[in-house]
Structure 1
Amino acid sequence: MEQQIKEYLLSLADKKTAAQTKKFFKTAKGEYSYGDKFLGIKMEKLRETAKRFSVVEPEVAEKLLQSEFHEIRMFSLILLTNLYKRGDKTTKDKIFDIYLKNTSYINNWDLVDVSAHHIVGTHLFEKDTTVLHKLSKSENMWERRISIVSTLYFIKNNRFGETLSISEILIEDEEDLIHKATGWMLREVGKMDIQAERKFLLKHYNKMPRTMLRYAIERLDENERQGFLKGKF
């Protein structure tokens, strides 16, 4: 099945789209996606293909996750997410373990964002969340992004403690892609409970990275946004 899926995905490759995608994902030397390889398969087609090959074992998806091609890794994460959603406890445990064992292949923001909250966040919601705090302090930028994006599942279920505590850790982060993800999650908290977001912002806004702050305050009214940006609170 693994080889059949690979061959099918390779048949969908488009050089023109691949060239455009390569530029979009910052693959020049020194940039965050340096060295990544792209086939040029659009997300819609990957999701369609995941439905076509919906009956696979998690181990097959794991092997696909270790591909050199970005879109095949993305396809694997879509598969794993779908398998997790309809799986029994044993399957869910297996997929969670596969995910954490293979974070070195979940190495771009889109790969994290399409999967972390569906698998890691969902799995840990009623369990010990120590692993999220461990990931938030990882030397691997993508593991740190996994830690905060995973909490989107918590937010959607009106639980904000993990998001806010991990955000406090990531305020000191040096990576812009972590600032964006953290600001995004704080904004999501505000959608559910604006007072919880305001309390966090009032405590931390004067030391938050500018990008993180801008993302977090996007939904506030203009006067309040300017107040935070100009340090008037």
Structure 2
Amino acid sequence: DFRKEIVDFYLTQTSRINNWDLVDTSCHKILGHFAFHQNQENILYDLAKSEDLWEKRMAIVSTWYYIKNKALEIVPEIVVINLNHPHDLMHKANGWMLREMGKKDDEKLIHFLDEYTLQLPRTTLRYAVEKIDPALKEYYMKLK
């Protein structure tokens, strides 16, 4: 299968996909698409557990394809794997995908925030609540 060949090649090149721009413009279109349509979420979970920052970011940003297809369950699961990652680029990516998830299902975002707000890095929280009701946004920000 041609798509599998592309994904396999992409995965052999992760050391070269080594900045936020390369990750953010490619992984959801390649890895997210493939994992979603081939039921290969293990690819994303494996990347999320990698020691490499960029592979971790590929995992969460690839969930954007799932979000666009309203398959939201994977998003909080991938976020939680790297909830306390030390790098700001992971905080931003996690918050970005939580925000995108919230645009599709605000209740799922609120449920996640109710459980994890106190554990979230401030940047993740700030990105996640960017588009929610202003009163709720203020509530969650004040919890931190």
In which range does the TM-score fall when normalised by the shorter chain? over 0.9
Structure 1 residue 157, shift from structure 2 partner: 0.4
Given that 2:34 and 2:40 are in contact with CA atoms closer than 8 Å, whether structure 1 keeps it comes out as no
One-letter amino acid of the structure 1 residue matched with residue 3 of structure 2: K
**The residue matched to 1:104 in structure 2 has which SS?**
coil
Aligned to 2:111: 199
**The residue matched to 1:177 in structure 2 has which SS?**
helix
Structure 1, unmatched stretches of 5+, are 1-89
Answering whether residue 129 of structure 2 is matched by residue 217 of structure 1, we say yes
Deviation string 1:32-90 (CA, Å, 9 cap, x unpaired) is: xxxxxxxxxxxxxxxxxxxxxxxxxxxxxxxxxxxxxxxxxxxxxxxxxxxxxxxxxx2
Deviation string 1:120-172 (CA, Å, 9 cap, x unpaired) is: 00001032311211111111100000000000000000011111100111112
Q: For 1:131 and 1:157, how far apart are their aligned partners in 2?
A: 18
Aligned to 2:79: 167
> Share of identical aligned residues, percent?
45
Q: For 2:53 and 2:141, how far apart are their aligned partners in 1?
A: 26
Aligned to 1:184: 96
Equivalent residues, number: 143
One-letter amino acid of the structure 1 residue matched with residue 69 of structure 2: N
The answer to which structure has the higher helix fraction is 2
One-letter amino acid of the structure 2 residue matched with residue 209 of structure 1: P
Q: For 2:23 and 2:71, how far apart are their aligned partners in 1?
A: 21
Q: For 1:221 and 1:157, how far apart are their aligned partners in 2?
A: 23
TM-score normalised according to structure 2 size = 0.96
Match of 1:120 among 31, 36, 40: 31
Q: For 1:171 and 1:181, how far apart are their aligned partners in 2?
A: 11
Structure 1 residue 219, shift from structure 2 partner: 0.4
**Consecutive aligned runs of 4 or more in structure 1 exceeding 3 Å deviation:** none
**The residue matched to 1:185 in structure 2 has which SS?**
helix
One-letter amino acid of the structure 2 residue matched with residue 125 of structure 1: F
Q: For 1:194 and 1:220, how far apart are their aligned partners in 2?
A: 8
Q: For 2:15 and 2:64, how far apart are their aligned partners in 1?
A: 21
Structure 1 residue 222, shift from structure 2 partner: 2.0
Structure 1 residue 185, shift from structure 2 partner: 0.2
**The residue matched to 2:15 in structure 1 has which SS?**
helix
One-letter amino acid of the structure 1 residue matched with residue 12 of structure 2: K
TM-score normalised according to structure 1 size = 0.60
Aligned to 1:91: 2
Structure 1 residue 214, shift from structure 2 partner: 0.2
Answering whether residue 141 of structure 2 is matched by residue 229 of structure 1, we say yes
Aligned to 1:57: none
Aligned to 1:108: 19
**The residue matched to 1:151 in structure 2 has which SS?**
helix
